[in-house]
Structure 1
Amino acid sequence: MKRDRRNRHAVLLAMLAGLLLLAASAVQARPLVVWNATASTPVGLWHVLPAASRKHLRVGDYVLFWPDRRSARLFARRGYLPRGVPLLKRVAAVAGQTVCERDREVSIDDRAIARALPVDGRGRRLAAWSGCGRLPNGEIFVL
C-alpha cells in the first residue's frame, strides 16, 4: 500500500517537473535592465517592464524591441547598432492615429512633430517615405 502511494507520488512529481520544464522552455527571457548608448533616447540604464499587450501602450511610453532581420542587417552594416541589440524608442503614435510624412515633415494627427533627415551622420542617403496612414489595432509608431 505504501509502495503504491510512493509510486503514485513519484509519478506525479515527475509529471509536475516535466510540466515546469516545458513551461520554462516556452518563456523567452528578456533583459530586465538595459544600457542605452544611442543618442535617440537618453543614455543610461533603463529598467524594462513587460507590457501586457500593445493595447496598453500610450504616447510617451518607451518600448524595447528587436528590429526585424532586414533592418538589423542594415543597422549593423551602417554601424548604427550591432546585431542582436534591441532598440529603445519612444511611442509617438498608437492605433487610430494618422501618421504622415510630406517633404520630410513627420506629422501625427495633422500636428508636425519631427523632420526626417535626408542623410545620416556620415552623409549617406536615408530612405524616404511620403504619404499618410492610420495605424491599425496592435501597431505603434516610434521615434
Structure 2
Amino acid sequence: MVERGRIVPLLLVIGCLSLAITVAWLKTPVLIWNITSSLPKGFYKIEPGYTYGDIVAFDIPEKFRPLVQERGWIPLYDRLLKRVVGRAGDTVCIRQTDITLNGEWFGKTSLSDSKGRPMPQLDGCHTVRAGHVWVMLKDNPLSLDSRYFGEVDEALIYGKARLIWGDNN
C-alpha cells in the first residue's frame, strides 16, 4: 500500500506531465512562453481570431527559416509574437533604415543583428496583398518581424496572443 504522503505528490507530477504532453501535441498552441525582450516576458494565451492592432502568434515564414536556423536567433519550432500593423492594401516603404506605413513614419530597421551580422533588407515599397498582414513591433528595430521577412500569410497565424502571466501582471 502506498502512503498518503507519497501519493499526492505522485499524482501531481503525473497530472502536470499529462497536461504538458497534451498541450505539446495540440496542433494549435494554447499557451506560448515568451522569453524574448520584444514583448513582456511571460505566458501568452492564444485565442481564435484577431484584428488589426492585436498581437498574434504565427509560424516563422518558410522562406525565412534557413536564415533563422543558420543564425540561431530562435528555435524553428517557436512561434513568433508580433503586432498586426498592416493589412491588405496598406503600403509599407523601407528606405535605408526608415519605415513608413501608408506615408507616415512608422519605425526603423537595423542594418545588423546583435552580433554585427548583416540583417536582410527589404528596401522599397511593398503593398500588403489580400490574405496577408504586416506584423511588426514598432519600437524595437531588432524585432524579428515583417521589416525583415515581409508580409505574413494569414494561414500561418494561430490567433490573438494575450499576456496572462508575466512581466506586466
Residue 127 of structure 1: which of 116, 120, 124 is its match? 120
Letter of the 2:115 counterpart? R
Residue 76 of structure 1: which of 69, 80, 92 is its match? 69
Q: Does the CA-based 8 Å contact 2:94-2:100 persist in structure 1?
A: yes
Letter of the 2:54 counterpart? D
Q: Output one character per residue of 1:96-140: Cα deviation in whole Å (capped at 9) or x when no partner.
A: 211110121011011111111000000001111211122122111
Q: Output one character per residue of 1:58-83: Cα deviation in whole Å (capped at 9) or x when no partner.
A: 1x211111113342232122121112
RMSD, aligned CA: 1.5
In percent, how many aligned pairs have the same letter? 31
TM, length-normalised to structure 1: 0.71
Cα 1:73–1:133 change in 2 (3 A) is closer
Aligned to 1:6: none
Structure showing greater radius of gyration is 1
TM, length-normalised to structure 2: 0.61
Q: Output one character per residue of 1:30-69: Cα deviation in whole Å (capped at 9) or x when no partner.
A: 1111101122222111010122xxxx521x2111111133
Q: Which protein is richer in strand relative to its size? A: 2
Runs of 4+ residues deviating >2 angstroms: none
Letter of the 2:60 counterpart? P
Q: Aligned to 2:84, what secondary structure does the other structure show?
A: strand
**Which residues of structure 2 form unaligned runs of 5+?**
1-25, 137-169
The higher relative CO (CA closer than 8 Å, separation ≥ 6) is in: 2
Report the Cα distance in structure 2 between the residues aligned to 1:109 and 1:134, rounded to whole angstroms: 9
Residue 47 of structure 1: which of 28, 45, 48 is its match? 45
Report the Cα distance in structure 1 between the residues aligned to 2:100 and 2:51, rounded to whole angstroms: 19
Aligned to 1:38: 36
**Which residues of structure 1 form unaligned runs of 5+?**
1-27
- Count the aligned residue pairs: 111
Q: Does the CA-based 8 Å contact 2:99-2:105 persist in structure 1?
A: yes
Cα 1:134–1:70 change in 2 (3 A) is closer
Letter of the 1:134 counterpart? T
**Following superposition of structure 1 onto structure 2, how do residues 42-121 of structure 1 map, counting pairs within 5 Å?**
42-51=40-49, 57-58=51-52, 60-121=53-114
